Amino acid sequence: MRILITAGPTREPIDDVRFISNRSSGQMGFALAEAASAAGHGVTLLLGPVLMPPSVADEVHVIRFNTTADLEALLAEHFPKCDVLIKAAAVADYRPAELIKGKTPRGKGLKIELEPTPDLVAGCAKTKRDDQTVIAFALEDPAVIETRAVEKMQRKKVDAILANPLQTMDASDIEPILFYADGRRDAPGRMAKTKLAGWLIGRVETM
């Protein structure tokens, strides 16, 4: 299969120096890329502004992005060529409505108007062919993780969604639940992200 994976954060510029971002490390995306490559699949990794570990296989085609707009353009180019999209990137929900030229001076209050970013995974799901599979990720409060993940899966019209509690963003292990559009669910229990990656790729192969 040809598997397209997105990983890492976006950076949305405020001015020529500052930006809005998040704490995503890209660890999950790296692990997925390695697991998919090890399983013999062709892998393209769309990677945000994080340090890439040397363990990522040379066979993985890595393309960098910074902003949501960058990633949107890359998805428009590469999504039609793939069989599976695994969207593990942490795309900003909001970005500054206007870029401030130069560097904003220190010592004054600063008001920034934010606008919502486009829902990239929903956009891909809307245009996907019958022979393509789209898997999204959801980072949610443990108290409402199932309700919100299922609602998000149905709203975005993806084939499956991997739900993770908020506390897993900086952690090396994870306790996910995989929800399928047909109503099934898989809860493998707590495991290292590297082990989860192989488990998820195995599930993708059966979908």
Active site residue 22: yes
Beta-carbon-side half-sphere exposure of residue 50 (alpha carbons within 13 Å): 24
Q: Which of 21, 22, 104, 194 is catalytic?
A: 22
Which of 194, 169, 152 has the alpha carbon at shortest distance from 89? 169
Tokens 């769309």 sit on residue: 46
Distance of alpha carbon 92 from its chain centroid, rounded? 10
Q: Where are the alpha helices (DSSP H) in the chain?
A: 27-38, 68-78, 120-127, 145-156, 193-206
- Cβ 10 vs Cβ 93: under 8 Å: no
Q: How does DSSP classify residue 99?
A: P
Gap between the Cα atoms of 117 and 75, Å rounded: 15
Gap between the Cα atoms of 126 and 120, Å rounded: 10
Question: Which positions are annotated as active-site residues?
Answer: 22
